[in-house]
Amino acid sequence: MNLQSPLTYIKGISTARVKLLQEELGLYTCEDLLYCFPNRYIDKTQFYKINQLVDNQSDVQIVGRITALKTVQQKKGSRLVATFQDDTGTIELVWFRGHKWFRESLKVNQPYIVFGRLNFFNGKFSIPHPEIELVSDQKKGLQPKMKPVYPSTEKLTSKGISQKVFRGFITSVFHQVGIEIKETLSSEIINSNQLILRKKAFFQVHFPDSPNELAQAQYRLKFEELFFLQLQFLQTKEARKTKYKGYVFESVGDYFNTFYTNHLPFSLTDAQKRVLKEIRKDVASQTHMNRLLQGDVGSGKTIVAFLCMLLAIDNGFQATLMAPTEVLAMQHYSSLSKLLEKMPITLELLTGSTKTKKRNEIHTSLQNGSLHILVGTHALLEDTVQFKNLGIAIIDEQHRFGVAQRFKMWKKNTLPPHILVMTATPIPRTLAMTLYGDLDISVIDELPPGRKEVKTVHRYDTNRLSVFHFMKQEIAKGRQVYVVYPLINESEAFDYKDLMDGYESIVREFSTPTYQVSIVHGQMKPADKEFEMQRFIDGKTQIMVATTVIEVGVNVPNASVMVIESAERFGLSQLHQLRGRVGRGADQSYCILLTGNKLSNEAKTRLETMVTTNDGFEIAEVDLKLRGPGNLMGTQQSGILHLKIADVVKDTFILTEARKEAKKLLDSDSDLLKPENNNIKNRNIELLQSSGNWSNIS
């Protein structure tokens, strides 16, 4: 008999009920029951004064007296209303049913304790159907505690598994002879983090003596959960590092040095230098680099990528850069061509629309090694694309590619090439460490000097004319403007129609010959797209009407106004990405968020966030709070969605502490061999076995 024993071992439980708990709540073992945490607690340890009550409070307990009782007629039947008063104010107690009985038994001007859900309506507080008890009666009973409320279902309740019965099951687990709730952490970690013991934590989380003890119990259990999660991430990463050897880029050679001293068009920011050093350390050692490079839009990731490629070429390797869209791949290709102007390095572009003849040439030169750098889209992943010796693969804008694609890149060689994943959708650092357990992380947290913050405003559709007016003023100063329409799904005719309508109204307002307008969208042929993009890049058109295809990467420093249509339909990170298209030159730039009049609360928060901050990390944090971690890339694999008590968004402090401890532990006892770490080792094995993750570590 232990925690892994099935529920049938619990005293007095019928097989029918065991089956119900399995089916309805997925509970199989005694341990499952322990981990079935209350959704909330009915807290009868706290008393409130009426003037302390605030809106949105749920359960409250108040001592006071009834000063008046009246029956109020309403459309259907009537309700009984009691005026309830303490020395700080009054509220109403309301009964819609059974008020005859209450009317007769309630005593006016006697001290009562009431408990219930607080309602706030028309500026007044009330409690419908409160629990109510004379103070004198309550004193006779036991002192109340915090009562747990467990998750339940209609079926469970109807089959007699009430809250009370459920509490009984949990109590049995604690009292069952033979069940031992073992400690899983070392005394060292328990003491230095001031944690309570595991057994006590489980008891207090189910039957807390006070809010304070509940908080301690929750902290301990969250800490433990996050600690083991982090421990496994760190172990996996370590295992990967020792298992896979990487190519060694031993020297910083001529290409790198020549470019760095003679052709670098600006000096690198400190952040860029630091990141380069981190990368260099990886590729110069025997380890295989698998690194995530985070940096806000415009922070200058491309040059870092480029220098890494030079490092590879210096050491006799090839390099590749993969972008999520054709437009972006073309843009990368042309900016790399410019950087390479005075260097004897070969560069090609491969996309879905590369002609067969060209494609074959590329294949040949890749295989005989005469091609140094290949830039492209998903087309790079095709099996026919084989390198002679690919040393580094750089993947831009990670959020468009999945983990599977990263792995495909690995298979292009005998040894996996070094992988550098670049993303402009920053993730809060603690979360990034959790999500990308298998990646190392570098951050460019500094923008090149001289950038002005983009001024962002929110305007309603009805003010469109003044927005047009503003666009004309800016164009008169020689600037260029983007007007972006949402395209949730490129095939949706509805979105497409919005775009075309918008385009027509812009062409009407900004007519030739004074104005030239470009349009780019997903349904155009790549050659037409490129033509239109180029006209805008060359300054031949002043306005670029586009769908979100320009979202990633496009670089036109002279564009200083970004108008986003139906901005309420975009997610925060998308808005931030779009805004990053302006503010790249020396001029003051603007972002105008146009919306309809009806906005959801969430949309309002998104718009407000955009207006108040330009900081990508801050924005990412809000985004995460709004959407939850489920929408973030990588969450599925990382297991953080299956946490039982911790919440990666709310518990980042605990997450950081737990990670620190896990790291410290592995640094001092990497295989958990020291006797004082026995508890941890045993629990870790137990968890690995139950998750089927065992092979990762051993």
Which residue ranges make up the site for Mg ion (CB under 5 A)? 553
Q: Is 424 in the site for ligand ADP (CB under 6 A)?
A: yes
Angle of helix 270-284 relative to helix 301-314, nearest 10 degrees, comes to 30
Q: Could you tell me which of 415, 353, 408 has the C-alpha nearest to residue 383?
A: 408
User: 40 vs 273, which CB is nearer to ligand ADP?
Assistant: 273
Tokens of 79: 């309700």
Angle of helix 198-206 relative to helix 211-243, nearest 10 degrees, comes to 130
Cβ of residue 577: shortest distance to Mg ion, in angstroms? 10
Which residue's Cβ has the minimum distance to Mg ion?
553
CA distance 319 to 267: 24
Element (H, E) at 624: helix 616-627
Cβ of residue 537: shortest distance to ligand ADP, in angstroms? 12
Tokens of 68: 């008046």
531 binds, among Mg ion, ligand ADP, none (CB under 5 to 8 A by kind): none
295 binds, among ligand ADP, Mg ion, none (CB under 5 to 8 A by kind): ligand ADP
Q: Quick check: 233 and 437 in contact, CB under 8 A?
A: yes
Entry field: residues in the chain: 698
266 binds, among Mg ion, ligand ADP, none (CB under 5 to 8 A by kind): ligand ADP
Residues 6+ apart with CB under 8 A from 100: none
User: 270 vs 382, which CB is nearer to ligand ADP?
Assistant: 270
User: 184 vs 299, which CB is nearer to ligand ADP?
Assistant: 299
Say which residue the tokens 């991430």 belong to. Answer: 233
Cβ of residue 506: shortest distance to ligand ADP, in angstroms? 27
| Part of the chain binding ligand ADP (CB under 6 A), chosen from 183-191, 265-273, 460-468, 625-633 | 265-273
| Part of the chain binding ligand ADP (CB under 6 A), chosen from 99-107, 296-304, 317-325, 427-435 | 296-304
User: 208 vs 298, which CB is nearer to ligand ADP?
Assistant: 298
Which of helix, strand or coil describes residue 200?
helix
Q: What are the b/e assignments for 111-135, b being 16+ CB within 10 Å?
A: ebbbbbebeeeeeebbbeebebeee
269 binds, among Mg ion, ligand ADP, none (CB under 5 to 8 A by kind): ligand ADP
Cβ of residue 351: shortest distance to ligand ADP, in angstroms? 19
Say which residue the tokens 């003679």 belong to. Answer: 262
Q: Is 423 in the site for ligand ADP (CB under 6 A)?
A: no
324 binds, among ligand ADP, Mg ion, none (CB under 5 to 8 A by kind): none
Q: Is 584 in the site for ligand ADP (CB under 6 A)?
A: yes
574 binds, among ligand ADP, Mg ion, none (CB under 5 to 8 A by kind): none
Which of helix, strand or coil describes residue 62?
strand
Q: Is 547 exposed, middle or buried (0-12, 13-18, 19+ CB in 10 A)?
A: buried
Chain centre to alpha carbon of residue 70:
52
Q: Is 541 in the site for ligand ADP (CB under 6 A)?
A: no
Which member of 197, 268, 284, 441 binds ligand ADP (CB under 6 A)?
Answer: 268
Q: Is 295 in the site for ligand ADP (CB under 6 A)?
A: yes
Q: Is 426 in the site for ligand ADP (CB under 6 A)?
A: no
Peptide bond into 513 cis (omega under 30): yes
448 binds, among ligand ADP, Mg ion, none (CB under 5 to 8 A by kind): ligand ADP
Q: Is 379 in the site for ligand ADP (CB under 6 A)?
A: no
CA distance 353 to 239: 41
130 binds, among Mg ion, ligand ADP, none (CB under 5 to 8 A by kind): none
Which member of 389, 555, 637, 656 binds ligand ADP (CB under 6 A)?
Answer: 555
| Binders in 298-327 for ligand ADP, by CB under 6 A | 298-303
Q: Could you tell me which of 584, 553, 576 has the C-alpha nearest to residue 326?
A: 553
**What DSSP letter does each residue of 370-430 carry, written as one string?**
---EEEESGGGGSTT---SSEEEEEEE-GGGS-HHHHHHHHTTSSSPPEEEEEESS---HH
User: 50 vs 395, which CB is nearer to Mg ion?
Assistant: 395
206 binds, among Mg ion, ligand ADP, none (CB under 5 to 8 A by kind): none
Q: Given the rule CB under 6 A, which residues bind ligand ADP?
A: 266, 268-269, 272, 295, 297-303, 424, 448, 555, 584
